[in-house]
Homo-oligomer: A and B are copies of this chain.
C-alpha cells in the first residue's frame, strides 16, 4: 500500500470540505493532513508540544483540524507512546465518607496535569486482585491506592514497573512511595488537653486490625493515654462506618464497671455514630457527660450537629503530593522511594469539655 494514501470512503472529486464525521466517523490526522495539504506527520507534530513546526504550517493545520473537529485520539497515541495518561485510583466503598473527599481532590489534581482518573472501588483485598489486573490491562501510567492492596499485589505492580503511590497506608517493611499524615503531635496535644480537663478514664473506638492507619493511630493513642492516665484503656472495634461507631459505644457502655468520660474514635465517621448514639439513644450529653475526639477532619465532621474535635489531614496537599509522586516515578522508575509525611492539624470543635 502506498503510504499516506489511505482508503477513502467515497471517491471525492472536489476534495474540498470532505464530509466530516459521517455516521460518526471521526476525523483522523490523515483527514486533517489531506485537507490541509500536508503530511500526517506534520499534523501529529502540530499537536505535540515543543515539536518543530513553522508558524505557517501550524496555522494551516489548526484551521483544517478545527474544520473537521479533529482531536488526537488518545487511545492511538497511548499505543505508540506507551503512556495512557490514565491513573488508577483505588478507594473504598460507601462506608466512610473520607474517601469521596480524597477521590475528588485526586481527580482534580490529576486533571490539572493532564491525567485522568480511572476509578476503582475496592472493599476487600480479593477485589484488589482483579483491580490490579484491570489496571494492568488498561496500561495505567500509575496507581494511587487509598484502599486495600495486599503485599502480593503491590509486588506484582512493582515487578511490572507500574508506579504505585500509597495514600495513607503502607507496609512497614517494604520500600514504597507514600503520602502519609502523621497525627502524633496532635494526639499528644489532645490527650493532654483532655487530661487537663480532668479526664481519667478513656475509651478507644478503633478500626479493623488489618488496617495500618488504624494500627498507627491506636498505638499513638494507647501510648499517650497510658502516659498521662496510667489507667487501662477500654477498647471496642468498628469498621470505620457510622453504624459501627454507634455499636462500639454500646459495647463500651454496656461493658460494665466504670464508664469512660472521654472517647477517642479512630475516624470521624465512627465518631459521628458514637456521638449520635450517646445523645439520642443513651441520652448522654456530649460534651458535658462525654467527650469525643477523632481523626480525619472530613467536611461533615464540622456540621453543627457534630463539631468534632478532630485531627484533620491536609487532604489537598496530600493529593497534590500523591499526583506529583506518581508522575515522578513514571519518569524515573529507578529512583529511590520517597515518603512524604504531613502533619495533622487539630481542629477544636465543641465535642470536648471538662470531665463530669
Point out residues on A near B: beta carbons under 8 Å: 21, 23-24, 26, 69, 71-76, 78-79, 84, 86, 89, 93-94, 97, 99-101, 103-104, 107-108, 111, 116-121, 133-134, 136-139, 159-161, 242, 246, 272-273, 275-277, 279-281, 299-300, 303-306, 333
Tell me whether B121 and A119 are in contact (CB under 8 A): no
Known: A74-B137, A75-B138, A107-B119. A97 touches B97 (CB 8 A): yes
A350's nearest neighbour on chain B, judged by CB, is: B280
How many chain copies does the complex carry? Answer: 2
Q: Chain B's nearest CB lies how many Å from the CB of A137?
A: 4
Contact between A116 and B118, CB atoms less than 8 A apart: yes
A127 to B103, CA, bound (A): 18
Instruction: Tell me, in angstroms, the Cα distance from A260 to B94 when the chains sit together.
Output: 35
B303 touches A74 (CB 8 A): no
Task: Name the B residues within 8 Å of A118 (CB-CB).
Answer: 86, 116-119
Is the pair A160, B21 in contact by a Cβ cutoff of 8 Å?
Answer: yes
Please, how many angstroms separate the alpha-carbon atoms of A303 and B273 in the complex?
A: 8
CA distance A272 to B94 in the complex (A): 19
- For A21, what are the chain B residues with a Cβ–Cβ distance below 8 Å? 159-160
Identify the 3 closest CB pairs spanning chains A and B, nearest first.
A24-B161, A100-B100, A276-B304
Using known A-B contacts A121-B107, A159-B21, determine if residue A300 contacts B97 with beta carbons closer than 8 Å: yes
Q: Are A116 and B104 in contact (CB under 8 A)?
A: no
Seed contacts A69-B160, A100-B103, A305-B306; 14 additional CB < 8 Å A-B pairs: A71-B133, A75-B75, A86-B118, A94-B100, A99-B100, A103-B119, A107-B120, A107-B121, A116-B118, A117-B118, A246-B304, A279-B305, A281-B304, A305-B305
CB atoms of B79 and A24 under 8 A apart: no
| A304 pairs with B333, CB closer than 8 A | no
Contact of A94 among B139, B273, B299 (CB under 8 A): B299
B119 x A134 contact (CB < 8 A)? no
Please name 20 pairs of A and B residues whose Cβ atoms are closer than 8 Å in the assembled complex, sorted by A.
A24-B333, A71-B137, A73-B79, A73-B139, A75-B78, A75-B138, A75-B139, A79-B79, A89-B119, A94-B101, A107-B120, A116-B118, A116-B134, A116-B138, A117-B119, A118-B119, A276-B305, A279-B305, A280-B304, A300-B300
The closest CB in chain B to the CB of A277 belongs to B304
